[in-house]
Amino acid sequence: MNSKKLSALIVAALDDVKAQNIVKLDVRDMTAVTDYMIIASGTSNRHVQALAENVAEKAKEAGHTPIGVEGEEGGEWVLLDLQDALVHVMLPKVRAFYNLEKLWSLGSPGDLAVTDR
């Protein structure tokens, strides 16, 4: 599965569990670390954890086991490293504070893809 298909799978997995404000950034021209950065919000700590768990499960089913997961205990911000895609699932207040969308879309505003949820 290529990185574009993986990013679509991640967005679908987030949408399945009612993630809010899903944003997919194409960062291939900005870093060699990953191809896509996907950012989404959950409504509570438990919702953030459930979103991250669903993404990890769907990715594993597709043959992409996360190489790292951080923040599961607290549930304010969970990061999943799927190598070709980094997934940030956050509470809205944490997301607003760090504003990753602005940070990572500076060089490529046309690559910002927002899904309404």
CATH number at residue 11: 3.30.460.10
Tokens 């599961």 sit on residue: 72
The pLDDT of residue 29:
84
Q: Tens digit of pLDDT for each residue in 87-104?
A: 999 999 999 999 988 887
Its pTM stands at 0.86
The pLDDT of residue 117:
46
Q: Show the domain range for 76.
A: 3-115
Start-to-end Cα distance in the chain:
26
Q: Tens digit of pLDDT for each residue in 41-55?
A: 999 999 999 999 999
Give me the number of domains the chain comprises: 1
Q: Tens digit of pLDDT for each residue in 105-114?
A: 765 444 445 5
- Rounded mean pLDDT of the chain? 88
- Give yes or no for a contact between 93 and 87, defined as CB atoms under 8 angstroms apart: no
